[in-house]
């Protein structure tokens, strides 16, 4: 499975993955998923929101056990964030068949669409639509960097955008969703464990800062005559770091766009996207308010206008204790339980159905980078743990 996925959407220069929603690379990932489902004789379907499903047993019977993750990536993402959960789902099913497991509940494997939000700016679009946390009207407004709207992109990829929207009947058929994911930190490396269970996801969100200044000549405009939005942006980045440090939170400007983007012109507009996360919502509010205040103060001084738009927000997620405890019991009761600052479809779905997550050790903790890594033995331990969990939940 890894050999087939290896070249898909891989950038030759960086070695990272560029698998963005509804692109050719995404279509290749989807074709791979469909082929894996077909090779195992599973019932394949795409739901109204473009998420892929592969069923063993009757999809309509109810109380299904579902496992999976996503195949899309951030810009120059690693091989494991997302695909490890999908590959492990198929491998766990193979393992269970090898064990001769008798299923008493339907089992489904999934690939949720557009988890990273790399193209349209909003993460977990597939699961948010399904759970009713994103309305079709709001989804229709999403645009990529080239101005292509989400419905246009879906249509071009052969998916009917008129169909998107909440899918409560589908969710009602699911008794438990378990997502396996590469750890995006070093907690398991430090504790010496191969596999962990998720406790909670930090609240997090994305804010767009638009700094409007005045374009002018870099060689002739006196410093005191400039209204340079890059300056205000730079001061805001430093303020973000300070606010996050003081609060024990995280704040990152990882994406920027500049107009007109000429080396010898003062910019007219700098747009920066803030990603901020904290252990609790009031800390996150304090951090973002502090960054906004600093941006306003510097903007005033620099003769720049600043506008801040919250593009997305995900509240704190505490995974259901009963399912979490059940996983730990199935796995022998000594599995470390850890929180994470990373968002996941399992977090979105936890508002509608019982969900849980398994993490697989990442020896460097690096993620959202081509250097992301998990060792083969740890990946195998993850597959076996997932197989044990599915067997414990769905078999007699
Ligand atoms: C998804 O990986 C996120 O946390 O941004
Ligand atoms: Mn990710
Ligand atoms: Mn992920």
- Could you tell me if 120 and 102 lie in one domain? yes
- Could you tell me if 28 and 156 lie in one domain? yes
CA distance 259 to 138: 26
Give the dihedral sign, CA 341/345/351/355.
negative
- Could you tell me if 355 and 310 lie in one domain? no
SS3 291: helix
Domain boundary among 273, 290, 314: 314
Pairing mode, strands 204-212 and 269-277:
antiparallel
- Could you tell me if 198 and 213 lie in one domain? no
Domain boundary among 314, 342, 358: 314
Mean pLDDT, residues 158-166 taken together: 98
Q: Is the pLDDT of residue 68 over 90?
A: yes
CA distance 350 to 347: 5
- pLDDT, position 5: 98
Q: Is the pLDDT of residue 147 over 90?
A: yes
Looking at the CA of residue 367, tell me the nearest atom of ligand 1.
Answer: 2
- 312 pLDDT band (50/70/90 cuts)? very high
Q: What is the mean pLDDT of the chain?
A: 98
- Could you tell me if 347 and 231 lie in one domain? no
Q: What is the pLDDT of residues 201-210, one digit of tens each?
A: 999 999 999 9
Ligand nearest to the CA of 368: 2
Q: Is the pLDDT of residue 98 over 90?
A: yes
Write down the pTM of the prediction. Answer: 0.95
Mean pLDDT, residues 162-170 taken together: 98
Q: Is 123 in the pocket of ligand 1 (CB under 6 A)?
A: yes
Name residue, tokens 């300056």. 231
- Could you tell me if 86 and 75 lie in one domain? yes
- pLDDT, position 389: 98
Best of 182, 206, 344 to mutate for ligand 1, by most ligand atoms within 8 A of CB?
A: 344
Domain boundary among 288, 314, 340: 314
Judge whether 73 and 30 are in contact, CB under 8 Å. no
- pLDDT, position 396: 78
- 78 pLDDT band (50/70/90 cuts)? very high
The range of the structural domain enclosing residue 266 comes to 204-314
Centre of ligand 3 from the C-alpha of residue 49, in Å:
18
- Could you tell me if 131 and 11 lie in one domain? yes
CATH of the domain at 293: 3.30.70.360
Judge whether 205 and 281 are in contact, CB under 8 Å. no
Centre of ligand 1 from the C-alpha of residue 41, in Å:
32
- Could you tell me if 336 and 289 lie in one domain? no
Mean pLDDT, residues 301-306 taken together: 98
- 153 pLDDT band (50/70/90 cuts)? very high
Q: Is 343 in the pocket of ligand 1 (CB under 6 A)?
A: yes
Centre of ligand 2 from the C-alpha of residue 182, in Å:
9
Report the number of distinct structural domains present in the chain.
2
Q: Is the pLDDT of residue 191 over 90?
A: yes
Centre of ligand 1 from the C-alpha of residue 298, in Å:
30
> How many other C-beta atoms can be found within 10 angstroms of the C-beta atom of residue 367?
20
Helix or strand run (H / E) with residue 177: strand 174-182
- Could you tell me if 363 and 232 lie in one domain? no
- Could you tell me if 107 and 179 lie in one domain? yes
Q: What is the pLDDT of residues 240-282, one digit of tens each?
A: 999 999 999 999 999 999 999 999 999 999 999 999 999 999 9
Whether the bond between 250 and the residue before it is cis, its omega within 30 degrees of 0, is: no
Q: Is 85 in the pocket of ligand 1 (CB under 6 A)?
A: no
Spatial CB neighbours of 108, under 8 Å, sequence gap ≥ 6: 53, 54, 55, 56, 59, 64, 65, 66, 67, 68, 174
CATH of the domain at 115: 3.40.630.10
């Amino acid at each position: 499975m890894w050999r087939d996925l290896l070249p898909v959407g891989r950038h030759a220069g960086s070695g990272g993955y560029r698998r963005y929603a509804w692109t050719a690379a995404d279509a290749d990932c989807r074709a791979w998923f469909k082929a894996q489902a077909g090779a195992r004789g599973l019932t394949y379907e795409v739901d109204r929101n473009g998420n892929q499903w592969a069923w063993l047993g009757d999809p309509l019977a109810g109380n299904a056990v579902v496992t999976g993750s996503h195949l899309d990536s951030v810009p120059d993402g690693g091989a494991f964030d997302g695909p490890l959960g999908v590959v492990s789902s198929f491998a766990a099913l193979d393992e269970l068949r090898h064990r001769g497991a008798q299923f008493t509940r339907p089992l489904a494997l999934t690939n949720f669409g557009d988890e990273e939000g790399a193209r349209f700016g909003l993460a977990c679009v597939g699961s948010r639509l399904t759970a009713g946390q994103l309305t079709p009207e709001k989804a229709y407004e999403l645009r990529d960097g080239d101005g292509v709207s989400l419905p246009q992109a879906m249509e071009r990829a052969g998916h009917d955008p008129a169909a998107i929207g909440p899918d409560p009947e589908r969710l009602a058929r699911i008794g438990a969703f378990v997502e396996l994911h590469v750890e995006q930190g070093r907690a398991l490396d430090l504790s010496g464990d191969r596999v962990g269970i998720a406790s909670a996801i930090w609240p997090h969100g994305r804010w767009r800062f638009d700094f409007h200044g005045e374009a002018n000549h870099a060689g002739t405009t006196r410093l005191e005559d400039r209204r340079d939005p890059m300056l205000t942006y730079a001061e805001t980045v430093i303020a973000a770091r300070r606010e996050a440090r003081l609060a024990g939170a995280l704040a990152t400007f990882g994406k920027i766009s500049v107009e007109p983007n000429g080396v010898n012109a003062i910019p007219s507009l700098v747009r920066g996207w803030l990603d901020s996360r904290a252990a609790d919502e009031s800390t996150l509010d304090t951090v973002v308010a502090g960054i906004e205040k600093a941006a306003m103060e510097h903007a005033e001084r620099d003769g720049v206008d600043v506008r801040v738009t919250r593009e997305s927000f995900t509240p704190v997620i505490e995974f259901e204790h009963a399912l979490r405890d059940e996983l730990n019991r199935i796995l022998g009761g000594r599995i470390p339980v850890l929180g994470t600052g990373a968002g996941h479809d399992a977090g979105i779905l936890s508002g509608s159905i019982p969900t849980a997550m398994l993490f697989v050790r990442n020896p460097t903790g690096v993620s959202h980078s081509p250097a992301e890594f998990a060792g083969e033995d740890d990946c195998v331990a993850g597959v076996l743990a997932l197989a044990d969990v599915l067997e414990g939940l769905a078999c007699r």
